[in-house]
Amino acid sequence: MACAVAAALAGCRAPPGPPPATPSVIEQVEGVRAGRTATITATAPVSPAEWESLRGLSGLRVLEIRSGAADDERARTILATLPDVERLVLRESPLTDAGFETLARLETLRDLNVPQAACTAAGVRVLAQLPGLRTLRLGGVRGSGTEVCEAVTALSGLRSLHLIDVPIGDAGLDVLARMDGLWNLYLDGAGVSDEAWSRYFGARPTVHVHVDQAHHDRDPGRHDH
């Protein structure tokens, strides 16, 4: 009887078990060396030994450090030795301008996500050495928002830009309107007026825009639910 009632409610199926544990960084390094994967994802803080295990790792195309990146010196020392990285995610990363100079030497880099950096506009500008860079997600930049936008415009190949809590203001958005190759623009905490957005869409009517995690009302790709 109890099973019949349970079957009606849940089909008598056992509740799902816990999700499988994420392999350690060192286990994932072994997978890259064996050719089984080209991705390493770390969801817990990476130890010095785990960082060291990445040194010189060929075949690694996606590196996602999602919690507690290493200090600037260790991170840039290891990153400089990775020859094939195309996508790089460094959360809680304190990378300074010196760290960004290292990133600018990663010739294969296409997608960079550094939401908690510690660089200035000068660090952003050196990324112009990466003509293949297509997407940039960036937060924690120090200095004038307008200077940051000026630096971003030097990234000629960029197609998608996300600035997190960078107060670019109206002047900064006017600078970003110069980017004729941009497809997607995401701004959080930018402090931009409606008048500036009107100017932006007048100049770039086809750019897909999110403001503070929502579609802009004038976004040509906006969809209502």
Return the biggest CA–CA distance within the chain. 71
pLDDT, tens digit (0-9, with 9 covering 90-100), for 142-151: 888 899 999 9
pLDDT exceeds cutoff 60 at 91: yes
Whole-structure pTM over 0.75, yes or no? Answer: yes
More confident: 40 or 48: 40
Asked whether residue 6 is domain-assigned, the answer is: no
String of DSSP letters for 8-52: HHHTTPPPP-PPPPPPPHHHHHHHHHTTS-SEEEE-SPPPHHHHH
Asked whether residue 1 is domain-assigned, the answer is: no
Structure tokens at 21: 């544990």
Structure confidence at residue 9 (pLDDT): 42
Asked whether residue 79 is domain-assigned, the answer is: yes
Asked whether residue 164 is domain-assigned, the answer is: yes
Is residue 145 within 8 Å of residue 169, measured between CB atoms? yes
Asked whether residue 223 is domain-assigned, the answer is: no
Asked whether residue 196 is domain-assigned, the answer is: yes
Nearest to 89 by CA among 50, 122, 37, 40: 40
The CATH number given to whatever domain includes residue 109 is 3.80.10.10
Residue 69 gets which letter from DSSP?
A: P
Alpha carbon 107 to its chain's center: 17
Distance CA 223, CA 62 (A): 31
Nearest to 40 by CA among 93, 8, 78, 88: 88
Enclosing domain of residue 109? 36-215
Is residue 47 within 8 Å of residue 22, measured between CB atoms? no
Hey, CA dihedral for 80, 150, 131, 199, is it positive or negative? positive
Asked whether residue 204 is domain-assigned, the answer is: yes
Residue 189 gets which letter from DSSP?
A: S
Mean pLDDT value across the chain: 87
Structure tokens at 120: 């200035």
Non-local CB neighbours of 36 within 8 Å, separated by 6+ positions: none
Tokens 């509740």 identify what position? Answer: 15
Percentage of the chain surpassing pLDDT 70? 83
Asked whether residue 222 is domain-assigned, the answer is: no
Structure confidence at residue 93 (pLDDT): 77
Structural domain count, the chain: 1
More confident: 212 or 205: 205
- Count the helices and strands in the chain (H runs, E runs): 9, 9
